[in-house]
Amino acid sequence: MRRILLFTFLSITTGLFAQNEVQLDADTLLKELSANACDCINEISTYNKHRQEVVNEINSCIEEVTEAYQLGSQLFKFSKPEESEQITEQDSTGREIAINTNKESDQYKAAYYKIEEQLMKDCESLKRKVAASDKQGLKSMSFNKKALKYYEEGISASENGDFSTAVKQFKKALKVDKEFAFAWDNLGLAYRKLEKYDKAIEAYEKSIEIDPYGLMPIQNIAIAYQYQEQYGKAIEAYKRLALIDKDNPEVAYGIGSIYALKLNEYEKALDYMCQAFNAYTQMKSPYRSDAEQIISIIYQEMKKEGKEETFSTILKENGIDMG
């Protein structure tokens, strides 16, 4: 492992020096390693997988570069190790460099989260793949070749941002096979992109009629209601999602976001967002950082109201120490 790690780091630093276009520093290294992790994430297939399966593969991509980032950071900062289970090397001046391979250590987590944060900024496919949940049901896909052809053309049009054409192709697919659940899902998404929210909700509901355990259409109904500023209906949609997937962190995150950003009910928002933060952290989802950002927003608002103590109490009740 150490030889692979050193080879990865040295390959990147050698390439950066050769370019003579960038200043080699920790920030540059972070961006380069994150780009490597993003390339790995781009190769992940989400087809017929639950969200956790995809998240696990994303974790592996991040872990592949975490130790290299630790090593690089140590080289630039010459910081001293604080925990056990370390690998040590020496730089050209003979100073000892240490990295921590214990995934539960503060040093390892700090490096992992730094890469994760960079990916959330720069890696477009990350959020899309974390949110993907294309696990097939019996009626998710069609066995009709003509319907599949139209569906694939609709997907292609959507990927190119041509949602009007996508609507036409998905409707053609559904005319051939009206029980093609994924076609209804994607028709709803295309309508949503065209800001035709009522039609989007209607398409999602048709998908749920066909597959009552489909997760994405229910979550997308909640999003469509938020675009319509029907926040009560959006919250009910998230609660509906919880009935079939009680451990889905999108429920707590979605409801918490509405209470925090739309309804200004900060104590309710904080409790839900703490639940989301804990769930994302447990499943090692990059959305952990999004939950953390909203918790910070809630703190600022509760501070204005003189409710710092209440804020701290709710965090403690949820077992969170934000430092």
Per-residue pLDDT of the chain (323 residues; tens, 9 = 90+): 333 444 444 454 444 444 444 445 678 888 888 898 899 988 888 765 666 677 788 888 888 888 888 877 776 654 444 444 454 444 444 445 566 678 878 888 888 888 888 888 888 877 666 665 555 555 688 889 999 999 999 999 999 999 999 999 999 999 999 999 999 999 999 999 999 999 999 999 999 999 888 888 999 999 999 999 999 999 999 999 999 888 889 999 999 999 999 999 999 999 999 999 999 999 888 889 899 999 999 999 999 999 999 999 999 999 998 66
Q: pLDDT at position 79, please?
A: 42
User: CA 117, CA 128: separation in Å to the nearest integer?
Assistant: 15
Q: In the numeric block, which tokens belong to residue 82?
A: 């604080």
Q: pLDDT at position 115, please?
A: 87
Q: pLDDT at position 284, please?
A: 85
Buried b (16+ CB within 10 A) or exposed e, 64-83: bbbbbbbbbbbbbeeeebee
DSSP string, 57-89: HHHHHHHHHHHHHHHHHHHHH-PPP-SSSEEEE
Nearest by Cα to 295 from 317, 322, 262: 322
Q: pLDDT at position 275, please?
A: 96
Question: What is the value of pTM for the model shown?
Answer: 0.70
What residue ranges define each of the domains in the chain, with the CATH number in brackets?
2-131 (no CATH), 145-317 (1.25.40.10)
Q: In the numeric block, which tokens belong to residue 228?
A: 């319509």
Buried b (16+ CB within 10 A) or exposed e, 145-154: eebbebbebb
Q: In the numeric block, which tokens belong to residue 46?
A: 């989400």
Question: What is the sign, positive or negative, of the torsion defined by CA atoms of 261, 265, 266, 268?
Answer: negative
